[in-house]
Amino acid sequence: MPVGLSVGGALGDPSPSRPFRPSRYVPVSAATAFLVGSTTLFLCFTCPWLSERISSIIPLYNGVVFLFTLANFCMATFMDPGIFPRAEEDEDKEDDFRAPLYKTVDVRGIQVRMKWCSTCRFYRPPRCSHCSVCDNCVEEFDHHCPWVNNCIGRRNYRYFFLFLFSLTIHIMNVFGFSLLYILHHTKQLDQVNAGVTMAVMCVAGLFFVPVAGLTGFHVVLVARGRTTNEQVTGKFRGGVNPFTHGCLKNIGYVLCSSQAPRYLGRLRKPRSLQVQPPFLRPPLSEAQLAAKVLDNGIQQSKSSLEIMESQSTDADPPPPPKPEHRYPGLPHTQNEECSLLNETPPTPSLYKYRPAYSSPGKNHTASTHSSKMSRGNSMTESPSVPVTTGQPSYLSDPSLSSRGGAGCRGGGEGGRAGSGGLGGASAFGGRSYPSFTDTLLQSAAASCSSSLRSAQTAHNALGPLISEGTTSTSYKSLANQTRNGSLSYESLLTPSESPEFESAAHELSPPRPHPPNSLSTVPGPPHILGYTSPFLSAQQREGSLQACPAPLRPSPNRAFLRPTSSPPSRAPPLSPRARSLGSPPPGPAPGHTPLGKSLSYGGGAELQHRPSTSGGGTPMPNSTFKQNVANHHAHSHKPAGGVKKVTGVGGTTYEISV
């Protein structure tokens, strides 16, 4: 069906169950009333005389212009402005949950920031903005117009512009012809016709100034290739607009481009294609073969521990990660070796970077890791551990720790804990593909919405430690508290850390802020742990837990968490505990931040990479950090009252204070 009309935001997908607010309809009703009413009066009372005395073309002309205006008004009102459907849960898994709030992208040589939309769950494309009235992200968002009660975006901007243009013309016509009538009836002003005409003239005259002003404004915008949003927020003030193609081309784009398709309300064809194994595999390249040989030895020893193999027909271990994704000189599986050696290893390379984007090697080997780990640690409720593959694997942790319930401040964890974590991860026989249940997200969203928004928008809510720089440097996870349970751990560490980390791994630095190499200079893994564990995907954290001496591990957290909770919330005995202990400190408690900060920057070297912009809220000298960390070390050695020791996978012991 070619018709693309739909009421903006009213379709189920984008913004479910918006409350009915009659006040929203007042301006649009008034506008409609004035437009239709005045024109009708004009056509009925003024036009008959005009058609007799001057020309019969006049009513026809006015009628046509009025019809055109009305049509554009209707299109602007009822057409979907270009609403993006909400991203599905599996889409944002590819980003590390500590991925930044902003992603920079190069548009014709100019860096443009894409902001993470916590409602819609994706990074907003350039020129896209989230309308708070409609609660949708709109493509090429111009503004939300109350007079049409709709957002103006890519799809309906043309109609809006033409509406303004034609309305200006229409008002001028009506005013002009009414004036003509009045001038010819100066002696009969007491007549009804004259009276009505005068009233219509007044209305027309009244509306002419704002409408013409707005029309002129939009003519300028179109010529310059800007949206109202960009103009009003001063995005390109003094700068270059990367979206302009020159005046004529801009006008051509607005008026002459083909009608953009709507994204919502489309009939989805049911997928009829069956994917059946066995699967074709491309032949391996030389480099891959060489890398495989390198890995074979290590992976073979682990094969018995793997829950699942990637293919039945393919006897080879999962393909290795590309060499450039690995830290030179250190194979991916080193952390397992370290755990077996049971000594403090040099800081494994795995911690030094967050996977920027999913890579197969990391995925595969990671999945084997995680599957191995989680088998021991996790919910033994399902043998096919919902641990997922690769990048998604870290989300299995969230489901675990979401059972810990700390993911969302404000409660509701207990209820969703059991169902959300496991239920969310649908277990297939071998590999499971985790998916969050909507209810999980929505319940979390409901309870977290206030902290969500405040975290995202009012950075002040996080206290003085958050500098101005953090608007650009906050994590989307801060904005996105519903995401996953890894967040619970992070929230335990207090959100103040995240801006810290974010500032260290800033959007100005490589787009994917990884813990930089300076971490290698940090003495002792516990610092790294306290610092990096929120940023690591599950397999890395598992490895880190195994790699580092247990007693030291919980201490950083214990020291500043009230109540304390354990990092290895993955272990089944731990997660109930984590849940009981673990409503995280209410809100991003600034009170915790000093300690939290110190621990998160136990890697004092991290400070070196913090750009000066973040200096506003977060200055802390290296020495202080190291001292604090040293203190925490001291703490770690004395067991607090009621410390429970839990044995995890590989014989490591966790100490948890009860």
* Interface positions, 425-444, toward another protein (CB under 8 A): 428-433
Site for another protein in 336-375 (CB under 8 A): 357-361, 363, 375
22 vs 429, which CB is nearer to another protein?
Answer: 429
**Known catalytic residue: 145?**
yes
Site for another protein in 167-196 (CB under 8 A): none
Segment interacting with another protein (CB under 8 A) among 202-210, 317-325, 438-446, 452-460? 317-325
Name the catalytic one among 137, 145, 408, 548: 145
Site for another protein in 76-105 (CB under 8 A): 84-85, 87-88, 90-91, 93-94, 105
Closest C-alpha among 648, 640, 600, 655 to residue 342: 648
Residue 380 as a binder of another protein (CB under 8 A): the answer is: yes
Site for another protein in 535-574 (CB under 8 A): none
Side chain identity, residue 373: M
Side chain identity, residue 82: G
Count, residues near another protein per rule CB under 8 A: 93
Closest C-alpha among 203, 40, 74, 208 to residue 147: 74
Segment interacting with another protein (CB under 8 A) among 240-248, 440-448, 509-517, 592-600? 240-248
Paired residues of 137 in beta bridges: 130
Contact 148, 156 (CB under 8 A): no
112 vs 589, which CB is nearer to another protein?
Answer: 112
H or E segment to which residue 628 belongs: helix 622-637
The single-letter DSSP state of residue 5 is B
Question: What is the pattern of x (binds another protein, CB under 8 A) and - over residues 391-420?
Answer: xx----------------------------
* Closest distance to another protein from the beta carbon of 440 (Å): 19
Q: Dihedrals φ, ψ of 147, to 5°? A: -70, -25
CA angle, corner 298, sides to 293 and 300, nearest 5? 85
* Closest distance to another protein from the beta carbon of 163 (Å): 12
Closest C-alpha among 166, 159, 154, 146 to residue 227: 154
237 vs 269, which CB is nearer to another protein?
Answer: 269
CA distances from 81 to 122, 167, 203, 449, 576 (A): 18, 20, 30, 26, 47
* Closest distance to another protein from the beta carbon of 260 (Å): 6
Segment interacting with another protein (CB under 8 A) among 19-27, 271-279, 612-620, 650-658? 271-279
Segment interacting with another protein (CB under 8 A) among 232-240, 319-327, 333-341, 486-494? 319-327
* Closest distance to another protein from the beta carbon of 78 (Å): 11
Question: What is the pattern of x (binds another protein, CB under 8 A) and - over residues 141-170?
Answer: ---------------------x--------
511 vs 591, which CB is nearer to another protein?
Answer: 511
Whether the CA torsion 61, 67, 71, 73 is positive or negative: it is positive
Task: Please list, residue by residue across 398-408, b when 16 or more beta carbons sit within 10 angstroms of its beta carbon and e when fewer do.
Answer: bbbbbbbbbbb
Closest C-alpha among 99, 611, 89 to residue 354: 99
* Closest distance to another protein from the beta carbon of 452 (Å): 22
Site for another protein in 243-262 (CB under 8 A): 243, 245, 249, 252-253, 255-261
Pick from 312, 328, 637, 638: which binds another protein (CB under 8 A)? 312
* Closest distance to another protein from the beta carbon of 222 (Å): 14
Paired residues of 115 in beta bridges: 102
Residue 216 as a binder of another protein (CB under 8 A): the answer is: no
The single-letter DSSP state of residue 107 is E
Report how far residue 52's alpha carbon sits from residue 44's, in angstroms, rounded to the nearest whole number: 13
* Closest distance to another protein from the beta carbon of 555 (Å): 28
Residue 279 as a binder of another protein (CB under 8 A): the answer is: yes
The residues, any chain, with a CB within 8 Å of residue 563's CB and separated by 6 or more, are: 581, 582
* Closest distance to another protein from the beta carbon of 364 (Å): 8
Report how far residue 528's alpha carbon sits from residue 567's, in angstroms, rounded to the nearest whole number: 13
Paired residues of 654 in beta bridges: 646
Residue 494 as a binder of another protein (CB under 8 A): the answer is: no
164 vs 605, which CB is nearer to another protein?
Answer: 164
CA distances from 284 to 63, 332, 361, 407 (A): 71, 20, 14, 42
Cis peptide bond upstream of 563, omega within 30? yes
- Measured N-to-C along each axis, helices 334-341 and 538-547 cross at an angle, to the nearest 10 degrees, of 30
138 vs 408, which CB is nearer to another protein?
Answer: 138
* Closest distance to another protein from the beta carbon of 281 (Å): 6
Segment interacting with another protein (CB under 8 A) among 33-41, 121-129, 186-194, 550-558? 121-129
Residue 651 as a binder of another protein (CB under 8 A): the answer is: no
DSSP 77-133: HHB---BPPPPPTTTGGGS-TT-BSEEEEEETTEEEEEEEETTTTEEPPTT-EEETT
Site for another protein in 5-44 (CB under 8 A): 5
Residue 268 as a binder of another protein (CB under 8 A): the answer is: yes
Closest C-alpha among 15, 6, 167 to residue 81: 6
**308: Cα separation from own chain's centroid:** 32
Pick from 224, 302, 325, 562: which binds another protein (CB under 8 A)? 325
* Closest distance to another protein from the beta carbon of 290 (Å): 14
Contact 599, 567 (CB under 8 A): no
CA angle, corner 270, sides to 438 and 443, nearest 5? 5
112 vs 643, which CB is nearer to another protein?
Answer: 112
Residue 331 as a binder of another protein (CB under 8 A): the answer is: no
Residues forming the active site: 145
